[in-house]
Amino acid sequence: MKRIFSGVQPTGNLHLGNYLGAIRNFARLQDDYECIYCVVDMHAITVWQDPAALKANTREVTATFLAAGVDPAKHIIFNQSQVPAHAELAWIFNCVARLGWLNRMTQFKEKAGKHRENASAGLYVYPVLMAADILLYKATHVPVGEDQKQHLELTRDVAQKFNNDFGREVFPIVEPLIFGEATRVMSLRDGSKKMSKSDPSDYSRITMTDGPDEIAQKIRKAKTDPLPLPETVEGFDGRPEAANLITIYAALADITPEAVLGEYGGQQFSDFKKALTDMAVEKLGPVGQEMQRLMADPAHVDGILKDGAERAEALARPILAEIYDVVGFLNVR
């Protein structure tokens, strides 16, 4: 069966974009693929993380995978730091990836901002560790939100260069799986910015643990324009906030934006926002509640991560041994 790998950083404020763009899809793929879902704690520390918060957030992401419906008996859920082969392969790939490739990464430029000199070296080689995550298992498919497309292209470049350099088809060329209506959910405060964990405004995002009151308040305050809802999707042009709210509704309801406009096109945003609130509470409420239930039992969550790490390690070790052999490392034990 084809193998999937994907990861989510335990950096807190897990939001609607993470859920609709990635985590909900993780659960939907599990009948057709062998899936490995990773809480990428080593990626998280490329920017400062409070150690206690990092541990809590690792459990929270795990709980979200489970609450979204990923079955840990059939598939693997683990945290990256517990399988050292990720770091070991990343070193080899640091010697394959070219500085020119990394210099083009837009996420590094965004995250490093003006103070590039002060960014960690880890942030710079972040995409190399991501390539190692995926290729350590020879995964063929990677479900992610749209913002990860460039990183996956780098993964393909690393795989191709490695195969070329050593004259062996060691790695598959991975395919991104970017699907659903909400591959790029935008901020509720600014339709030109993506919804993000690090936005200083809590009103910019709906988080997975928001209750009905918080969801209602955030949607009520969400930015719109004074016009009624457009009649067709062509009317999204120049109206990013309207497009975003309608797309979110479509994704939550599992229908197309055209179908949403069939029902609400031409109506006032105040009415539509009430419908969107009801839809969000109906779809996210049960996931949030299941997360809270799971997080109240950290020993259970840790047990799932431990079991997952052991199974991931068992898959990774022989592949890493093969890679070492190809590179010319003398495997003496």
Residue numbers at the binding site for ligand TRP (CB under 6 A): 5-7, 9, 40, 43, 130, 133-134, 142, 144, 148, 151
Evaluate whether 16 touches 195 at the Cβ level (below 8 Å).
Answer: yes
The Cα–Cα gap between 8 and 78 comes to 11
Look up residue 123 and give its DSSP letter: H
Catalytic residue IDs: 111, 194, 197
Listed residue (119, 150, 107, 146) closest to 45, CA to CA: 119
The Cα–Cα gap between 108 and 125 comes to 9
Closer of 173 and 227 to ligand TRP (Cβ): 173
Compute the least distance from the CB of residue 155 to ligand TRP, in Å.
Answer: 8
Burial class (CB in 10 A: 0-12, 13-18, 19+), 15: buried
Tally the residues of the chain.
333
The Cα–Cα gap between 26 and 309 comes to 18
Number of residues that bind ligand AMP (CB under 6 A): 17
The Cα–Cα gap between 101 and 303 comes to 39
Compute the least distance from the CB of residue 144 to ligand AMP, in Å.
Answer: 4
Mark residues 219-258: x for contact with ligand AMP by CB under 6 A, - for none.
Answer: ----------------------------------------
Q: If contact means CB under 5 to 8 A according to the sort of partner, which of ligand AMP, ligand TRP, none does residue 320 touch?
A: none
Q: Establish if 185 lies at the interface with ligand AMP (CB under 6 A).
A: yes
Compute the least distance from the CB of residue 218 to ligand AMP, in Å.
Answer: 15
Listed residue (143, 248, 239, 250) closest to 185, CA to CA: 248
Q: If contact means CB under 5 to 8 A according to the sort of partner, which of ligand TRP, ligand AMP, none does residue 194 touch?
A: ligand AMP
Compute the least distance from the CB of residue 10 to ligand TRP, in Å.
Answer: 10
Q: If contact means CB under 5 to 8 A according to the sort of partner, which of ligand TRP, ligand AMP, none does residue 70 touch?
A: none
Q: Establish if 184 lies at the interface with ligand AMP (CB under 6 A).
A: yes
Q: Establish if 8 lies at the interface with ligand AMP (CB under 6 A).
A: yes
Residue ranges of alpha helices (H) inside the chain are 16-18, 24-28, 41-44, 51-67, 85-94, 99-103, 106-112, 121-124, 126-135, 149-166, 212-221, 240-253, 257-264, 269-295, 298-327
Evaluate whether 204 touches 196 at the Cβ level (below 8 Å).
Answer: yes
Q: Establish if 45 lies at the interface with ligand AMP (CB under 6 A).
A: no
Q: Establish if 195 lies at the interface with ligand AMP (CB under 6 A).
A: yes
List 4, 5, 12, 18, residue binding ligand AMP (CB under 6 A): 18
Stretch that binds ligand AMP, among 108-116, 140-148, 155-163, 319-327 (CB under 6 A): 140-148
Evaluate whether 236 touches 248 at the Cβ level (below 8 Å).
Answer: no
Closer of 61 and 323 to ligand TRP (Cβ): 61
3-state secondary structure of 114: coil
Q: Which residues bind ligand AMP (CB under 6 A)?
A: 8-9, 17-18, 21-22, 144-145, 147-148, 182-185, 194-195, 197
